[in-house]
Amino acid sequence: MTPIPAVGVVCMRGDEVLLIRRGTPPRLGEWSLPGGRIEPGERAIEAALRELREETGVEAEMLGLIDVVDGVFPEHGRHYVLIDYAARWLSGEPQAGDDATQAAFFAFEEAVRRVDWDETRRILLLARERFA
């Protein structure tokens, strides 16, 4: 498996966090962070803002890097190197797009409960600790 560079965004609006429901594997149907692959020649931070816009219709300003996570999914033959950023909502109401089937803001504690992957929960908690 060749690692695939990808990004994720913890987009915060006050005490709320934006989540998407995944429409493609891996983790199909689960609530997660907006994000996706970095395109050739694209800077990671630009990819994060683009993916946020494509999956949710939301515009945000970047606050900073949260962490880098390895998402290894052998059942799908995929290994993602996920560069996760924190962002502050600027405009737009969530509308699912691209490979998201739903997009919505949730109160922080509710967002943490909805997420199934431990690494995503850890990233949410780090984002709140460092940037909220």
User: Is the pLDDT assigned to residue 98 strictly greater than 80?
Assistant: no
Residues 53-66: tens digit of each pLDDT: 999 999 999 999 99
Q: pLDDT for 69-85, tens place per residue?
A: 999 999 889 999 999 99
Q: Are 21 and 102 in contact (CB under 8 A)?
A: yes
Domain ranges of the chain: 4-131
Q: What is the DSSP letter of 34?
A: S
Overall pTM > 0.85: yes
Contact 7, 17 (CB under 8 A): no
pLDDT per position as a tens digit, 41-55:
999 999 999 999 999
Across all residues in the chain, what is the average pLDDT?
95
CATH 3.90.79.10: does it fit domain 4-131? Answer: yes
Residue 49: the pLDDT is 98
What is the per-residue pLDDT for 107?
98
Choose among 127, 121, 125: nearest CA to 32: 121
Token pair 């995503």 is found at 120
